[in-house]
Structure 1
Amino acid sequence: MISTWRRRRAARRAAEKQRLEGEHCIDMELAIPKDFRCPISLDLMKDPVTLSTGITYDRESIEKWIEAGNVTCPITNQVLRSLEPIPNHSIRKMIQDWCVENRSYGIERIPTPRIPVSSVEVLKIQAKITAAACKGGDQVGCRNLVAKIKTLMKESERNKKRFVSNGTGSVLSAAFEEFSRACFNENATVLEEILSTLTLMFPLDGEANSHLGSAASMDCLVWFLKGGDLSGRRNAVLVLKELVSSDTKKLEVLSATEGATEGLFKLIKEPICPAATKASLVTIYQMVTSTPTNVKAITKFVDMGLISLLVEMVVDTERSVCEKGLGVLDGICSCDEGREKMNDHSLTIPVLVKKIHRVSDLATEFSVSILWKLCKAQKRQEGGVLLEALQVGAFQKLLLLLQVGCGERTKEKATELLKMLNPHRERLECIDSSDFKDLKRPF
Structure 2
Amino acid sequence: MATHFPDDFKCPISLEIMSDPVILSSGHTFDRASIQQWLDAGHRTCPISKLPLPEPPSLIPNHALRSLISNYSDVTFPKPQARPPTPQTLSQILLSPSSSWEDKLHCLEQLTRVSKTESSIRRRFAESGLVSAVLSCVDSGEVGLVAEGIVGKVVHAVRDGAGDSRAVAATVLTSLAMLEVNKVTIGSYPDAIPGLVALLQFGNSRERKEAATALFTLCSFPDNRVRIIQNRAVPILIQNANSGLERAIEVLGLLAKCRVARDEMMRCTELLDILIAVLKNGSSRGVQYALLTLSCLCCYSEKMALEASKVGLPEICVGLLEDDNEKVRRNAKTLIQVLQGKRTDV
**What range describes the TM-score normalised by the shorter chain of this pair?**
0.5 to 0.7
Amino acid at match of 1:419: Q
Contact 2:199 2:207 in 1 (8 A): no
Q: Report the Cα distance in structure 2 between the residues aligned to 1:250 and 1:238, rounded to whole angstroms.
A: 14
- Counterpart selection for 1:219 from 128, 139, 148: 148
> What is residue 304 of structure 1 aligned with on the other side?
231
Q: Report the Cα distance in structure 2 between the residues aligned to 1:394 and 1:312, rounded to whole angstroms.
A: 22
| Deviation at residue 260 of structure 1 after TM alignment | 2.2
1:361 aligns with 2:284: yes
> What is residue 187 of structure 2 aligned with on the other side?
255
| Deviation at residue 332 of structure 1 after TM alignment | 0.8
Post-superposition Cα deviations, 1:196-250, rounded to whole Å, max 9, x if no partner, equal: xxxxxxxxx989999998333333344334433245544543333223213x133
Q: Report the Cα distance in structure 2 between the residues aligned to 1:272 and 1:213, rounded to whole angstroms.
A: 36
Q: Report the Cα distance in structure 2 between the residues aligned to 1:308 and 1:378, rounded to whole angstroms.
A: 19
> What is residue 106 of structure 1 aligned with on the other side?
none
Distance 1:207 1:349, change over 3 A: farther
Q: Report the Cα distance in structure 1 between the residues aligned to 2:137 and 2:102, rounded to whole angstroms.
A: 21
1:381-400 to structure 2, matched below 5 A, reads 384-400=303-319
Q: How many residues are aligned here?
A: 248
SS in 1 for 2:85: helix
Post-superposition Cα deviations, 1:263-298, rounded to whole Å, max 9, x if no partner, equal: 2212322336737833x43442243333xxx1x433
Q: Report the Cα distance in structure 1 between the residues aligned to 2:201 and 2:263, rounded to whole angstroms.
A: 21
Q: Report the Cα distance in structure 1 between the residues aligned to 2:300 and 2:135, rounded to whole angstroms.
A: 41
Contact 1:375 1:385 in 2 (8 A): yes
Structure with the larger helix share: 1
Structure 2 gaps of 5+ residues are 1-47, 50-79, 94-98
Q: Report the Cα distance in structure 1 between the residues aligned to 2:142 and 2:306, rounded to whole angstroms.
A: 47
Amino acid at match of 2:84: V
Distance 1:363 1:209, change over 3 A: farther
Contact 2:216 2:251 in 1 (8 A): yes
1:316-335 to structure 2, matched below 5 A, reads 316-317=243-244, 322=246, 324-335=247-258
| Deviation at residue 306 of structure 1 after TM alignment | 1.1
Distance 1:160 1:404, change over 3 A: closer
Q: Report the Cα distance in structure 2 between the residues aligned to 1:316 and 1:234, rounded to whole angstroms.
A: 19
> What is residue 84 of structure 1 aligned with on the other side?
none
> What is residue 111 of structure 1 aligned with on the other side?
none
- Counterpart selection for 2:333 from 412, 417, 430: 412
Q: Report the Cα distance in structure 1 between the residues aligned to 2:252 and 2:294, rounded to whole angstroms.
A: 11
Which is bigger in relative contact order (C-alpha 8 A, separation at least 6)? Answer: 2
1:350 aligns with 2:251: no
> What is residue 271 of structure 1 aligned with on the other side?
203
1:288 aligns with 2:211: no
> What is residue 94 of structure 1 aligned with on the other side?
none
> What is residue 321 of structure 2 aligned with on the other side?
402
- Counterpart selection for 1:338 from 258, 261, 267: 261
1:239 aligns with 2:168: no
> What is residue 26 of structure 2 aligned with on the other side?
none
Structure 1 gaps of 5+ residues are 1-66, 69-115, 175-204, 422-443
Amino acid at match of 1:217: V
Q: From the CA coordinates, give the structure whose radius of gyration is larger.
A: 1
Contact 2:187 2:227 in 1 (8 A): no
| Deviation at residue 385 of structure 1 after TM alignment | 1.4
Distance 1:311 1:216, change over 3 A: same
1:56-71 to structure 2, matched below 5 A, reads none
Q: Report the Cα distance in structure 2 between the residues aligned to 1:161 and 1:275, rounded to whole angstroms.
A: 32
| Deviation at residue 411 of structure 1 after TM alignment | 3.8
Contact 1:222 1:263 in 2 (8 A): no
> What is residue 75 of structure 1 aligned with on the other side?
none
Amino acid at match of 2:85: L
| Deviation at residue 354 of structure 1 after TM alignment | 1.0
Normalising by structure 2, we get a TM-score of 0.55
Q: Report the Cα distance in structure 1 between the residues aligned to 2:123 and 2:150, rounded to whole angstroms.
A: 25
Post-superposition Cα deviations, 1:162-204, rounded to whole Å, max 9, x if no partner, equal: 766666xxx9xx9xxxxxxxxxxxxxxxxxxxxxxxxxxxxxx
Amino acid at match of 1:373: C
| Deviation at residue 363 of structure 1 after TM alignment | 1.6
Amino acid at match of 1:413: T
Percent identical among aligned pairs is 14
Moved more, 412-421 or 391-400: 412-421
Post-superposition Cα deviations, 1:385-414, rounded to whole Å, max 9, x if no partner, equal: 134323443233123223556545314313
| Deviation at residue 342 of structure 1 after TM alignment | 0.6
Q: Report the Cα distance in structure 2 between the residues aligned to 1:387 and 1:251, rounded to whole angstroms.
A: 37
Distance 1:273 1:348, change over 3 A: closer
Contact 1:307 1:341 in 2 (8 A): yes
Amino acid at match of 2:189: T
Distance 1:257 1:211, change over 3 A: farther
| Deviation at residue 373 of structure 1 after TM alignment | 1.0
